[in-house]
Structure 1
């Protein structure tokens, strides 16, 4: 520290001395009228820069004050390391010695940071190619680089700067970095805890001493910001359990002499636990006291809970906002009785003033058009502020699935007492996704399918998709597009064109099923959460005769021919109240859909009803339940249901642990037939999702356990639990850059002979 101070002091003294020497030289004449000004010593700087900075012009009187001001102004440009002013007759001669410029900046040995990122950081402090060389800035840059490495827990890192002169008064800067290994947290201790175990409290922290996912989370690297956040988590934990007087006494961080190991010790005082004795409401409640009382989450007779206080405060603020009071204040006050360890809570409220929204701003959308976001708003400009509509607007924008984060901020309008502006800020994420499905089967080995979808094509909010499968057994080509706002009222339109070829056996002469068709569908929103769908399609299915043709297909061909047509009319309903489209923690999704062939060779109707529910079990664990029922039957007097419209079960999305679409009906199983689906399908899934152990609080990376059960049934078979398969397993869910990825390892707990087991399965772009 002293050496650094001495260097800075000497450098300042030398600059001041040089300035005084130059000024003294400039003062060696009596005041006179300037007849001309000449500049000498320029190499790259423009003479106009000198003339524009000088406070002296031709015709002015040159004096001591003008001399001092001239020297100061020229040094202030930062372009010169020496400036002198001489007088020759009535001519001022400005003699300058330019600072060298930086020809090139390079980094040697830097692996932790991208070199372009480092160059951009140096540019912000004034160091860049072509800029004047300044030793002070170089010293500052060196210290900044060291600080960045310290922030990454790389305390043993060293930075050595080399300045190499080159031609034309230029220099090359080289920062040689010896990074070393990052310091790892070897110990975290919490001292003073009595009510809770040390392991329980350490489990609240993002920082830890390492685990099997440390390479991804880097949670064993010390960070002051992370430690502060962990201490706040510790404080919140105690305050949520009645310890009102909890405090952190000291925090000690020690590093080993080799700068490789770190030890953290946190000393705390828990204090006593307090129980809520009474809750009081004071202030103006707009004559709606009963409504506000119903929002109180604080429980009398239970330990004081800061989370309940915060939840109640937020509920009050939100409810005031529903009536246009955007700046309401809710102040919780506590009266502590230490003799009985009880606390009385008083909620003092002030609704302030009612306001309306002047303007709504959108920020952060580099690709997505403003209108894509604005059309989801339910709060309008020049309307009264409505907290419920603002929350709906934020949630609708979030459910688009285009953004990693959506926030809504309220700002007062300067000079106005009853106006506010709203700003919705979004953080965009990649909306193009690759859909990849794969599995490892003991019978067929490794199989894969591929697809591509762009959910926000060209920032328009429209989706474009293509699915391609070029395998020998299943060849598929599908194009689809959806315009969620085909009309200004929010009616969506989806178009799909497809061609599918299924050849269950690799044998060249094996039979095949070819289906070609297309459809158009519209979605009409009836409420904020409910949408009704209807559409029309046409498809043609051809049975290509060959070896191993199942009897059911031959029977169908005998009745309807090898080529058949259908014109299905579709109708459906959907309701989505999830809090997030990518990582839901609460809410539900309900869907029903029906398909009715109104023309063509085939007469049938088929439908599906599904229900998904997400329930937060704890702050970290979410329970997810899914149920699905599908039925199909003939219509119009037909006595044969088209086999191409059967439902299939097995694999991801239904019963994991079994090969995709491989489950057989009871009849197929008894006769030893291959799976050709059934007219009835039942499916149940139960999952428990939590942050991946060792993954910290990263919501995009989660582990889950699951139980699946499902069955497939023929036209004349009753729905029986005895015919259902089931499985249990574990998996990983990750919102990857190419889409949601789910990896599952399943073990069947109920199966039948000849079932095709597939223990390891993964898929990108699906849920459940």
Structure 2
């Protein structure tokens, strides 16, 4: 059963107070008293004296006494007597009722001075301040808003009767939530100038817990099977999270409906709940539930008949009917059949189509004959598509995601697809995109489709607020906008500096360069990188690149993208500090500056239902990155990413993720032979070596030294694993092959040409009320390997832990704590890992 939102509960709680009769309706008006006899409840000391008339008379004038805040004009507006009217006792009684009905007055009295009608009133006080304390289950904002809706708010006229009724109804609502120890103490403090302060002090107490549930009369099914899907349950070890042991009348009502459905889905047409007893312990802490059942007999389906206007060929509609003659009756199959027919008709414009199942029960034969009456209603055209709540994002950006068009026939599939596409933009709060269909007044065949959204942070501004355990404090200025000026374009400008990196970059992407959805973008960046501070091999690099990005949508979920660019990378190594394999690779090429014509071709399929916090759907991406002939080094990298979200229940979402990578060189390997020159001869190169094609080709007087070969994926393109975004619990980039430099025993991470990383992560989306925060439990696994021949399952690393992700006002925060389950002797561990940055 879906929980009723807090706002709705509050409205229900205050509904009685909102419709309660005003104080005037509780008084019996005596016509004689109206002509001068003061009611016993009236504060006579405050009333102005007026002579009592002995008979009816004609009003020559009207005077109002006792007013403080309310103007006389307001009284005359509601008073059903005017100058020149002839009045008697019944007219006076009617006038008193009318003034009481306004709710402005505690007491009303009418008298006569000559032919002047004297109206004497005592105003109700105004509420100076209204405060609510102690409430947790119902938020103060919601509570005060509900009170304001019935006139109980600051500046309004105070009505004690309404306050008493509100107190009683709120107590009932807390009782319905299982909190029977609740105490609500209203306090009214009188102030000068006819004002009062009103305070509601709430002691919610603890919800009563269900200690025992007993079903009586279930002979066919075990109680555990019947109550398995209930929201109410006896106290258990998961109750601290599920809160299923807290009694609630609404939850119990929903559970009774589930119980009824359970039997009806299995053919028990005569099933009934005969009695429901709820007992509470003297201390109001424990609840005991007892239900008496009558199961009845199993019924079979004797016939199924389709009637009404099916619109489509009857044969095609009949194929959707899941209920067949001879089957055990099942209401679930009947509902699925109705929903399938309604959805099919809704997709061709019949937005208000209905399917009415009409059962005919034969209790002697234990059979049910079913007639499915199809009522298509009028075919509906969408007049307008309207967007509300988009304060930054332009209508054009949202409209281009629409698959339901104005002037077209209504289609539920198109509307649902439009909603998903809006959610996947990442511009709106998770789950905030809501769709409403509003009939157009004066016509039966037109509707407006309204998309209500709530915008979220779509940009970031980082200035000296970044921190991670890998890089330490990051001094940076970064401005990025995924929705630049509400246009949907993505723009990023960055200047960043920390202990290992200087980076300046600019990127731009227009996701709708053409109306057909072709995207076009550009990337420019320059970077100085010191790997010795990055948990990788010790060398430094200076690089720059210019790229053009192109994306082409193939289907609703599939996209092909291409990247073409030119980059330059200068590598600096240090013999004795840099691992020998890296130095040898550089020497084999006799080049420290690498120029590359680089291209990437990728295919992606994204069926996730949300960009920020998906709960279902799949993301797949395959990419091939390669350098073109003419580059200093010719290589390729193949990547495959897969992520699928499985909604286990409302409170559990499982994410399965895998990230694979492989890279290698292509073409001829670079080979360099070193020959040592004889002493006394000038060196042929700064290193004292000269290159030859083979050892036999060494120059006269020189001897063969060694042969170096540059092959495989370049070391500066290697894959890395370990860290907060990979295998948590291990230091960033430290998994995989390691090597030391000459004369050193310190093993430096090198990365590898093969990457295998994956994760199983269970999200708990309802654990926090805020959609910006979520917690998860995970198992990460993976490693990187030098090449394919080095891949061994026994070398895979595994960790498990919990993580918290929070889109805080200061920026996205990620915190994880992991325990390595499988590790190596030389692995560097880091159980607690976190990062954060600034955002707006």
Q: TM-score range by the shorter chain?
A: 0.7 to 0.9
Corresponding residue number in structure 1 for 2:748: 674
Q: Deviations over 1:199-257 (max 9, x none)?
A: 34333122334455655554333222222223333333444444444333322222222
Corresponding residue number in structure 1 for 2:354: 329
Q: Deviations over 1:509-548 (max 9, x none)?
A: 9644455556452322232222222234454444455562
1-structure distance, mates of 2:789, 2:304: 54
Corresponding residue number in structure 2 for 1:574: 604
Corresponding residue number in structure 2 for 1:4: none
Give the superposition deviation at 1:140.
2.2
Q: Deviations over 1:298-350 (max 9, x none)?
A: 57877554434333332222222333333333344556677887766664445
Q: 1:602 and 1:299, CA in 2 relative to 1: closer, same or farther beyond 3 A?
A: farther
Give the superposition deviation at 1:380.
0.9
2-structure distance, mates of 1:434, 1:456: 13
Contact 1:439–1:758 (CA under 8 A) maintained in structure 2: no
Q: Deviations over 1:50-102 (max 9, x none)?
A: 344444555x2453366455444433333333334444445444433333323
Corresponding residue number in structure 1 for 2:192: 167
Answer yes or no: is 1:136 the counterpart of 2:161: yes
Given candidates 234, 256, 268, the residue that maps to 1:231 is 256
Corresponding residue number in structure 1 for 2:641: 610
Secondary structure at 1:174 match in 2: strand
Q: Deviations over 1:400-435 (max 9, x none)?
A: 343415454445445434333333445666667999
Answer yes or no: is 1:718 the counterpart of 2:718: no
Corresponding residue number in structure 2 for 1:549: 578
Q: 1:289 and 1:115, CA in 2 relative to 1: closer, same or farther beyond 3 A?
A: closer
Given candidates 378, 381, 386, the residue that maps to 1:361 is 386
2-structure distance, mates of 1:480, 1:457: 12
Answer yes or no: is 1:663 the counterpart of 2:735: yes
Contact 2:213–2:234 (CA under 8 A) maintained in structure 1: yes
2-structure distance, mates of 1:84, 1:269: 62
1-structure distance, mates of 2:542, 2:658: 31
Corresponding residue number in structure 1 for 2:410: 385
Q: How does 1:526-541 map onto structure 2 within 5 Å?
A: 526-541=554-569
Contact 1:404–1:429 (CA under 8 A) maintained in structure 2: no
Q: 1:413 and 1:712, CA in 2 relative to 1: closer, same or farther beyond 3 A?
A: same
Corresponding residue number in structure 2 for 1:31: 57
Q: Deviations over 1:612-671 (max 9, x none)?
A: 4556789998776555443334467674443222222345665566544333259999x9
Aligned residues: 745
Answer yes or no: is 1:220 the counterpart of 2:252: no
Q: 1:244 and 1:610, CA in 2 relative to 1: closer, same or farther beyond 3 A?
A: farther
Q: How does 1:44-193 map onto structure 2 within 5 Å?
A: 44-57=69-82, 60-64=84-88, 67-89=92-114, 91-107=116-132, 109-110=134-135, 113-193=138-218
1-structure distance, mates of 2:329, 2:382: 37
Q: 1:304 and 1:602, CA in 2 relative to 1: closer, same or farther beyond 3 A?
A: farther
2-structure distance, mates of 1:651, 1:259: 50
Q: 1:273 and 1:733, CA in 2 relative to 1: closer, same or farther beyond 3 A?
A: farther
2-structure distance, mates of 1:563, 1:495: 24
2-structure distance, mates of 1:472, 1:504: 10
Corresponding residue number in structure 1 for 2:511: 484
Q: How does 1:411-450 map onto structure 2 within 5 Å?
A: 411-426=438-453
2-structure distance, mates of 1:761, 1:732: 11
2-structure distance, mates of 1:209, 1:692: 24
Q: How does 1:187-206 map onto structure 2 within 5 Å?
A: 187-206=212-231
Q: How does 1:585-734 map onto structure 2 within 5 Å?
A: 587-598=617-628, 601-613=632-644, 626-634=657-665, 639=670, 640=710, 641-650=713-722, 658-665=730-737, 674-683=748-757, 687=760, 689=762, 708=781, 710=782, 712-714=784-786, 717-718=787-788, 721-722=791-792, 725-726=795-796
Secondary structure at 1:310 match in 2: helix
Q: Deviations over 1:470-504 (max 9, x none)?
A: 76457777776654334443333455565463443
Q: How does 1:218-297 map onto structure 2 within 5 Å?
A: 218-273=243-298, 281=306, 285=310, 288=313, 291-292=316-317, 295-297=320-322
Corresponding residue number in structure 2 for 1:5: none
Aligned-residue Cα RMSD (Å) equals 4.9
2-structure distance, mates of 1:295, 1:500: 64
Q: 1:656 and 1:130, CA in 2 relative to 1: closer, same or farther beyond 3 A?
A: closer
Contact 2:567–2:597 (CA under 8 A) maintained in structure 1: yes
Corresponding residue number in structure 2 for 1:316: 341
1-structure distance, mates of 2:297, 2:458: 51
Contact 1:691–1:699 (CA under 8 A) maintained in structure 2: no
2-structure distance, mates of 1:312, 1:676: 60
1-structure distance, mates of 2:136, 2:609: 40
Secondary structure at 2:35 match in 1: helix
Q: Deviations over 1:425-451 (max 9, x none)?
A: 4566666799999999xxx99999999
1-structure distance, mates of 2:444, 2:205: 58
2-structure distance, mates of 1:745, 1:300: 56
Q: How does 1:7-46 map onto structure 2 within 5 Å?
A: 15-17=27-29, 21-24=33-36, 27-28=53-54, 31-32=57-58, 34=60, 36-46=61-71
Corresponding residue number in structure 1 for 2:698: none
Secondary structure at 1:323 match in 2: coil
Q: TM-score, normalised by structure 1?
A: 0.79
Secondary structure at 1:82 match in 2: strand
Any stretches of 5+ residues in structure 2 without a counterpart?
Answer: 1-19, 37-50, 671-709
Q: Deviations over 1:451-475 (max 9, x none)?
A: 9987556765455679999764577
Contact 1:482–1:492 (CA under 8 A) maintained in structure 2: yes
1-structure distance, mates of 2:413, 2:442: 26
